[in-house]
Amino acid sequence: MASATASISSHAIALRDLKAVRIGGVRQQVAVVPAGPAVKSQRARAVRPLCAAEPARKPLSASAASAPVAPVEEEEASAAAVDYEALAQELVSASPLEIMDRALDLFGSEIAIAFSGAEDVALIEYAKLTGRPFRVFSLDTGRLNPETYQLFDKVEKHYGIHIEYTFPEAGEVQDLVRSKGLFSFYEDGHQECCRVRKVRPLRKALKGLKAWITGQRKDQSPGTRASIPVVQVDPSFEGLDGGAGSLIKWNPVANVEGKDVWTFLRTMDVPVNALHAQGYVSIGCEPCTRPVLPGQHEREGRWWWEDAAAKECGLHKGNIEKDGQGPKVGVNGNGSAEASAPDIFQSQAIVNLTRPGIENLLRLENRTEPWLTVLYAPWCPYCQAMEASYVELAEKLSGSGIKVAKFRADGEQKPFAQAELQLQSFPTILLFPSRTVRPIKYPSEKRDVDSLLAFVNSLR
């Protein structure tokens, strides 16, 4: 009976790992390992090797992985001699599993996975599937959601690891709160709070590493992450050896779409944050995160009161182009659109207003018909996300006596739009009623067809 149990258990594990390898896209043959002793628990589960040429390896806890080890001079030298731009090109079509395996192989215990408590739990699953030892760290800002703390506990138990938590300096948090209150970021931006609670603690944690692994994806924030490579010399932080170029940053899922990450998580039955089931996609601190509504981009649930052009907390500030440096992100350092950005809201049912056209619309006291107008920037991911619903709305209202229009309000037009058209962030939707001079700003973040139609009809 014991033999039968062992055989069934081993077969289930082999099937699970085969499934993971197919999702990861590793182009190697997977060895079928003979049945072994019965597995007693998830935390004791052994990971099968990725290929027959390698012996089986087991994932270690963060504490075990961080224990002192004898230096291997040849491996250190090989990691230091790598041309990471060339390596990024080599791995541009590689699967996340292959990229993770290469990262852990190169850096051993001197690399760690940054875990935020969101769908980046996929990184931990990929690391486990390599069979190599790995470390995981997380920033506890003191303002995370309860569901995020609960996920931390589930992840530790599921993988048999200990997450290395990093905390902000108590004195800095105390000074900030005493001088500016608990919610100053709603008034003067999130950067100061993020700098105290996230960026400085991260800088301290990274000084003990030679490389780190993040869950950044290109489709998360087209305004700032569209050009991230799968591996790079970190442009913002320093590593163990100090100085520029001393830290390597790995982004194994950079080229993976969010829906494919979720297919992987569901297939592998990985624990996830309970907030995802409530409409949250990108998850950060509790006061600065909210569910994403219909027609919104996933990143719009973060710092929603600020401009959509740079939704970054500072952990990945190297993504944001400044003074002509850094990766191309679709907007320049001043936030104006690049000429190459393709236009959006292209439909015969939508009037393209020029600056004189919208100025005339503003001056009219008795309009013959109402005008619904979106103030937009073509590079803005949140404008792009609502394009389909706005075009559908325009087609529904065609011939109804309501004009639907668009006005590109970035670049040179932005100061005018801010002063005269109530622009705070993109997109901004205005209704110019037929008998009222001042336009009425759409107050909701819901940009689906039904919500926008209800707004128009209520003021018609």
Q: What are phi and psi of 232, to 5 degrees?
A: -160, 160
Residue 272 has a CB neighbour count (10 Å cut-off) of 20
Catalytic pick among 193, 288, 313, 383: 383
What is the C-alpha separation between 192 and 181, in angstroms, rounded?
Answer: 12
Question: Greatest CA span in the chain, whole angstroms?
Answer: 88
Residue 380 a catalytic site member = yes
**Which residues are CB-neighbours of 170 under 8 A, at least 6 positions away?**
none
Catalytic pick among 285, 288, 313, 380: 380
Let me know how long the chain is.
Answer: 460
Residue 429 near residue 442, CB atoms below 8 Å: yes
Between helix 2-24 and helix 258-267 the angle, nearest 10°, is 180
Distance of CA 330 to the CA centre of its chain: 17
Evaluate the omega torsion of the peptide bond into residue 378 and state whether it is cis, within 30 degrees of 0.
no
| 226 burial type by CB count under 10 A (0-12 exposed, 13-18 middle, 19+ buried) | middle
Residue 383 a catalytic site member = yes
> So which residues are the catalytic ones?
380, 383
